[in-house]
Structure 1
Amino acid sequence: MYHAKRNGKNNFQFYCDSMHSKIQGNVEMESLLRKAITNKEFILLYQPQINANSKTIRGVEALIRWNNKELGMISPAEFIPLAEESGLIVPIGEWVLKEACQQIKAWHQQGLPKFPVSVNLSIRQFYQHDLVPTIQQILEEADVDPKYLELEITESMAMDADSASTILNELKKLGVCIAIDDFGTGYSSLSYLKKFPIDHLKIDQSFVKDISVDVDDRDIISTIIMLAHNLDIVTIAEGVETEEHITFLKKHGCDVLQGYHFSKPLPPKDFEKWYSNWNFK
């Protein structure tokens, strides 16, 4: 069952002997994952988001990594699905929110310009009954203005439109920003763009990477940008790596750019160094 779920759900899978070793590996990984928070093995990296016109920093996205002494640095693609499946994503997600808010406060105290920090919410977090009071408490404890926290959700979280709308409106009352991540790759519905209190729309990097050679990707991106702007929603393009990407996205009015062309995700101290050397001209 879990093997089928990991392969996209709505499918069937036949048992094979290799599944046993996979399950055993998951059990061992889950055991390590449970200890990771206590052992302070998680770190947050920060990737800058650049205003396409002014070239000033618009914000950063916080991205989690797991540095285990036995396994080394583990990417989210390897442990997040297991964390979701086991329910560990809830305490991990809460740690991310706390760490990000503490970092926001630290940067403000250091005198860095004030910009929002984006944090991804998992579907399990999103539908926790205490999500809103938990975020409010984290913001209050860190003494951070809610407008400097941006919460990213995926399209799949919006499938239950009524529940999602209620949660998002409660979050907006706190004063945080809301972004739809990986737009166009999930259960896209144009109706929720009008119904939900969305501030930013993130164009998935799968559309961006081939815009220099793929006409369809160019058409999709230009349509997303036009649609978002007609609804007064700011667009953020992920996976920006080349001058061609920048030229096309600026030409079609994309507001914010994020990707390796500007910087890879960085630890806080490295980000501060990057920021001090960033050419704003």
Structure 2
Amino acid sequence: MIKILVVDDQNLVRQKLQTVFTTQSDFEIVGMVENGFQALEYLKTKNPDIALVDLEMPEMNGLTLTQIISQSSPQTQIIILSSCDDHNSINDAIQAGARGYLLKSTSESEIIDTVRYVQRGYFQLGPGLFEKLLFNLIDQDQVASGQLETLDDKYSYYVNSLKQEIELKTQTTHGQLTKEIESQVKNLQVKFKEGLEAFQQQVTNQLKHGLDDLINKFCQKQQNNLNQTLEEQAIINHQLFATKLLIKKLEKQITILRYGLIAIFFCYFLEKITILCYVLKKF
């Protein structure tokens, strides 16, 4: 079922459309209003598939209503029904978002077919309107071609005039331009020389500072290494001294042990001799 909203300020037109649409079993007129504000109020609660909108209405014209509906209710397809057949009205309606454009003099069958085609997603123009737009485009193309030819002639004239003016100015200002260029070249040479000297001085200073820093770091590192070497030497000397003391202590202990062994051996020898003498006395 195709739900249709009719928006027209003429009651006679609304009644005619109602008579036409009621003959179709798949059409349902869900609303009939006489101006754009009533249509917008209606669309706040209803979602018709098709809105037939008059182009010229008081309070709000059909173009403004078409723009608002296209933005706020894009599911509703708009067909303009107007008495205006000029190409400006048709183009404005299409740009506003209309999907169809019919004249009020269109036959009932054409209106019915247009509603069905637009509801299916097609774009429809009433009989003779497409040809009118086409002829208008052809006329505009011819006018544009004539304007382009005029512009081309003007362009050629201006280009030739400009060439002549440039040649004249070139002859009169060639010497001045040469002197000016020579002066600029000399200035550039002077600035380049000054900049080069300044750059060389800057590089020299940076190298000098870099070498000084490198020497200072090297000397500091050598001093650190020397201090570290002295500390290591002191540690080694201390260890050697401790080792010598330990050796002397061991030598003393060995000497005492040697004397002890000699004493033990001597005592043992005396004991053996004593025993031998005692045995000899008995015999």
TM bracket (short chain): under 0.3
Question: With CA pairs under 8 Å and 6+ residues apart, which has the higher RCO, 1 or 2?
Answer: 1
Greater share of strand: 1
TM-score (norm 2): 0.27
Greater share of helix: 2
Over alpha carbons, which structure has the higher Rg? 2
